[in-house]
Amino acid sequence: MRAGSFSRDAAIGLAALLVLAVIPLAVHSPFFTDLIIRLSAMGLLATSLNLLVGATGLVSFGHGMFYGLGAYAFALLMQKTAMPLWEAALLSLVITSVVAAGVGAICIRLRTIYFAFVTLAMQMLLHSIVLSWVTLTGGDQGLRGGIPRRFIFGVDLADQRNLYWASAVVLILGLLAMRHITASPFGVSLRMVRDNETRAAFLGIEVWRAKLTVFVLAGSFAALGGIVASLFVSGAYPELVDWPLSGQAIFAIMLGGIGTFLGPLVGSAILLGLNDLVTRETEYYGLALGIIILLFALGFRRGVTDFVLRRLRPPRVLADVERR
Amino acid sequence: MLRVRNLTKRFGGVAAMDDVTLDFPTGSLTAIIGPNGAGKSTFFNLISGALVPDSGRVLLDEADITGLSRAAIVRRGIGRAFQVASVFPTMSVAENLMAAVAAQRGQWDRLGSRFPPAGTRGRALEIAALLGLADKAEVEAANLSHGDQKLLDIALALALEPSVLLLDEPTAGMGPEERWLMIEKVQALWERQKLTLVFIEHDMDIVFRIAASIAVLCYGRVLAQGTPDEIRVDPAVIAAYLGTPEDELA
Amino acid sequence: MDLNALGGCLSSAACLVTQGTSGLIVGLLLFMVAAGLTLIFGVLKIVNFAHGTFYMLGAYVALSAYQFTGSYVAAIAAGCLGMGIFGIAFERFLISRVYGTDVLMQLLICYAVVLIFDDVVKIVWGADFQSMGMPPAFQVPPLFIAGGVVPPFYLLLIGVALTIALLLGLALSVTRAGKIVRAAAQNPEMVSVLGINTTLLYALVFAIGGALAGLAGGLAAPVRSLTPGMGFSVLIESFIVTVIGGMGSILGALIAAVVLGLIRSFGTIGFPLFTDELIYVFMIAILVIKPTGLFGREIV
């Protein structure tokens, strides 16, 4: 993960954005626009999860809770108040950050497997609250009524094409921001915490503070994905807070490769494609997906981008035969 | 000046550290010796903040640093290297050191810029040169030889600009020749940087040749502290530990 | 929130008995599932995310065995033994491939099994709610203890669960096999160096864990409705139990499970709308005070 410069990343992002912007003008495919919007949501969720897993070594099983929280907070603010879209989105991010800080403060001090499990339990708690608080959230029916006033900078996001462009921009900007985090001195400190927490502490790094900060940041980016999802489904549904989404995010980062920055995005794209394929071919989605996951976990084991990178890198010359 | 007063730490019913009082004058070079299980590493853990003592105090230049966190003690100026070299395997030597320098300058949590922060590279290479690692700056730490990893470990501690340097068995795992090369580097470092250096060591030849002062620990207690000549003839030390000069290498 | 009702119940012997036994069986069923979970974690350091599936399959297998033979004993035996075998198969074919790999890989494998068998159950037994119904032997009037209502079946359940708890505790502390299991939990390398067949040991641990969960499923079948996906909520709750009780501690699991069951049954009176949340909050409270759980040791 040798980071390039900010200008290089920005250039790549801009190029990708231009390509994405142009495609629907040339090819009319609602399937493609839907896919990109969904990829934006899922890609943000997965990449933010990898800020925890890949970059810091914090294995969270319940990261989806921030995605769902972002979606519900946004949809509720839009429905119940007269806020403009960008304000509701910003406030949703703030709300999620605060919750993430609280959850993180409790979970961060726990060791690996406890941390993983308690984040899961936190997600189930949120899910449970969403289902119980029917007057606020609509319970298991979800938030009906759609999202009113979907205007941002005068652009009406009720138009799928506009939502497509907005999602693409949000995705690219979100990725650039997360990329900047991993490439900053803070990002390197996260890597140090991941690889040798003891040594990191003995270099003067406040490990607790580093972990909490990245936990909150990751939660906010997940919430951003949730907001995109909320716009896509015109509301919010309990499925957005339920565990299978966290499971999908985990599978996406494993599939794409946790060792590279774009791995989770690649994995999300593959997973979305697989999901569509499976739902088209069979009604037994769980069975099919389960078998696919097993094939991956027992067979390939390595994410796509990790695998490719290993092939591309020249064989390493050891400085000495003696190796730890 | 590092002062330790009545330091005690129990695990279960066992006193790993039992009322230990030691002095390390500024700029001194002290070796800590003792049989396995004497509490030498525990001692380092207690001073560096990895463990909180049950009672007793640790004073650095008259300031009480007992019970402070690892990061806080690092900021006060105590650096540490480990028995098993503790480095960051996926980063190059230069990156390891740049990260340490950035941390020392309080920049580890910077989000606004890219790594490495300005000016860290030069400093990192300086430190690498001090330990003889300058030509290996771009090698990934995992690919370094064992000896070089130990050097990198020490370099990381040095990057913190410590006034006190704790080296836990700097020659561990090395053959006889490599051992001397390492300890000579350590001694040169001590002279050049004007550090207060404390090192744990098992090789008695090295200890008696290099150290200006020796502290002997046994069962968590101080058996004796003094110059090599004093220790050599101390009856308690001889009885408990040294035996004949030929059989060392615990 | 109905604190009056709760207060009323707590001061009435009848209500205490009724709700108390109801909470007790919920807790004891949970204990049996959690015991297997904590055993597997304690010895193998594997978080068996698929453990709820053992419970679910145990219930469904018991259902079919009962419908086929008419004998409840056969049903329980089928559920218990069937899941013991399933546990061995799961360990041998799947889990053993990911020992030592990172926890995400283990999670994925377990998650895949959950997905697969949720659908298998749908295919074989249908997606609708099923129920076994109370076996004729227990279709007798309930007992009245101190004015409270106690179905006789509950007594069977309590009896079986407590016996299991006792046997398990004894087996682990007194028998040679039990000591090996505990030794393996503390120091896996030493155990294999001592010549103990670790392959057999690990398979055995999963067999016991599976059997316990399957037994719980079989015992739950008469008093719960069966549905695909019933495993997941049990899984979460049994995880909560193991975390509160301390990973690797059977006694901790017992205490935590019973407490949870009682919170649930008395909670539904006082806080009918957020009983679930109450349990999560309880878990969080414990973890804030003692991160390794009531009886857990720091397992890195």
- Burial class of A13 by CB neighbour count within 10 A (0 to 12, 13 to 18, 19+): middle
Does the pLDDT at position A170 exceed 60? Answer: yes
A154 CA: distance to closest CA in chain B (Å): 31
The DSSP H or E segment spanning C289 is: helix C275-289
Q: For residue B50, which residues of chain A lie inside 8 Å, CB to CB?
A: 198, 202
Q: For residue B148, which residues of chain A lie inside 8 Å, CB to CB?
A: 319-320
Query: Which tokens sit at A140?
Result: 């298991």
C236/A124 Cβ within 8 A: yes
pLDDT attached to residue C122:
92
* Residues C22-59: b if buried by 16+ CB within 10 A, e if exposed: bbbbbbbbbbbbbbbbbbbbbbbbbbbbbbbbbbbbbb
pLDDT band at B36 (very low <50, low <70, confident <90, very high): confident
Helix, strand, or coil (residue C101) = coil
Which residue intervals of chain B are DSSP H helices?
40-48, 70-76, 93-104, 120-130, 146-159, 176-193, 204-210, 228-233, 235-237
Residue of A nearest to C289 (CA): A106
pLDDT attached to residue A317:
46
A164 CA: distance to closest CA in chain C (Å): 31
Strands A155-156 and A151-152: antiparallel
Average pLDDT of the segment spanning B95-119 = 90
* B vs C contact (3+ beta-carbon pairs below 8 A): no
Average pLDDT of the segment spanning A80-85 = 88
The residue ranking higher by pLDDT, A72 or A156, is: A72
Interface of C with A in 68-97 (CB under 8 A): 94, 97
Rounded to whole angstroms, the Cα distance separating C5 from C269 reads 6
Rounded to whole angstroms, the Cα distance separating C199 from A48 reads 39
Of the ranges A253-257, B220-224, C37-41, the best mean pLDDT one: A253-257
Closest Cβ–Cβ partner in A117, A118, A286 for C115: A286
DSSP C22: H
Q: For residue B100, which residues of chain A lie inside 8 Å, CB to CB?
A: 203
Closest Cβ–Cβ partner in C116, C123, C277 for A290: C116
Rounded to whole angstroms, the Cα distance separating A216 from C216 reads 40
C112/A117 Cβ within 8 A: no
Strands B29-33 and B196-200: parallel
Top residue of A294, A295, A300, A306 to mutate, by most chain C CBs within 10 Å, is: A294
Least confident of A228-232, B190-194, C238-242, C290-294: C290-294
Does the pLDDT at position C298 exceed 80? Answer: no
A227 CA: distance to closest CA in chain B (Å): 24
Interface of A with B in 141-200 (CB under 8 A): 180-181, 183-189, 191-192, 195-196, 198-199
A247/C111 Cβ within 8 A: yes
The DSSP H or E segment spanning C270 is: helix C250-270
A13-69 pLDDT, tens per residue?
999 999 988 888 888 888 888 999 999 999 999 999 999 999 999 999 999 999 999
A134 CA: distance to closest CA in chain C (Å): 10
Top residue of A58, A110, A118 to mutate, by most chain C CBs within 10 Å, is: A118
Helix, strand, or coil (residue B60) = strand
Contact indicator for C209, C93 with CB cutoff of 8 Å? no
C6-57 pLDDT, tens per residue?
777 777 777 888 888 889 999 999 999 999 998 888 888 888 999 999 999 9
Q: For residue A201, which residues of chain B lie inside 8 Å, CB to CB?
A: 69-71
Closest Cβ–Cβ partner in B50, B107, B148 for A185: B107
Residue of A nearest to B105 (CA): A204
* C vs A contact (3+ beta-carbon pairs below 8 A): yes
pLDDT band at B249 (very low <50, low <70, confident <90, very high): very low
Interface of C with A in 12-71 (CB under 8 A): 41, 45, 47
- The residue length of chain C stands at 300
Closest Cβ–Cβ partner in C118, C274, C299 for A132: C274
pLDDT band at A318 (very low <50, low <70, confident <90, very high): very low
A3/B109 Cβ within 8 A: no
- The residue length of chain A stands at 324
Contact indicator for A61, A198 with CB cutoff of 8 Å? no
Does the pLDDT at position C287 exceed 60? Answer: yes
A186/B110 Cβ within 8 A: yes
A287/C116 Cβ within 8 A: yes
The residue ranking higher by pLDDT, A71 or C129, is: A71
Rounded to whole angstroms, the Cα distance separating C134 from C141 reads 12
- Which residues have C-beta within 8 Å of that of residue B100, sequence separation ≥ 6? A203, B124, B155, B156, B159, B160
pLDDT attached to residue A322:
35
pLDDT band at A321 (very low <50, low <70, confident <90, very high): very low
pLDDT attached to residue B122:
92
A116/C284 Cβ within 8 A: no
Helix, strand, or coil (residue A316) = coil
SS (HEC) of A201-251:
HCCCCCHHHHHHHHHHHHHHHHHHHHHHHHHHHCCECHHHCCHHHHHHHHH
- Which residues have C-beta within 8 Å of that of residue C37, sequence separation ≥ 6? C48, C51, C209, C213, C238, C239, C242, C253
How far from the centroid of its chain's Cα atoms is residue A282's Cα?
A: 27
Which residue intervals of C126-197 are DSSP H helices?
152-174, 176-186, 188-193
Contact indicator for A150, A85 with CB cutoff of 8 Å? yes
Rounded to whole angstroms, the Cα distance separating C71 from C74 reads 5
pLDDT band at A150 (very low <50, low <70, confident <90, very high): confident
Closest among C263, C298, C295 to C282, alpha carbons compared: C263
pLDDT attached to residue A214:
97
Query: Which tokens sit at A87?
Result: 């304000």
Q: For residue C96, which residues of chain A lie inside 8 Å, CB to CB?
A: none
C291/A113 Cβ within 8 A: no
Does the pLDDT at position A2 exceed 90? Answer: no
Residue of A nearest to B150 (CA): A324
Rounded to whole angstroms, the Cα distance separating B8 from B54 reads 6
Contact indicator for C35, C250 with CB cutoff of 8 Å? yes
C105/A301 Cβ within 8 A: yes
Average pLDDT of the segment spanning B66-93 = 91
Residue of B nearest to A6 (CA): B114
Note the ipTM here.
Answer: 0.87
- Which residues have C-beta within 8 Å of that of residue C159, sequence separation ≥ 6? none
Q: For residue A5, which residues of chain B lie inside 8 Å, CB to CB?
A: 114
C178-208 pLDDT, tens per residue?
777 777 777 777 777 777 788 888 899 999 9
Top residue of B84, B93, B114, B166 to mutate, by most chain A CBs within 10 Å, is: B114
| Total beta-carbon pairs less than 8 A apart between chain A and chain B | 125
Top residue of A113, A127, A131, A274 to mutate, by most chain C CBs within 10 Å, is: A113
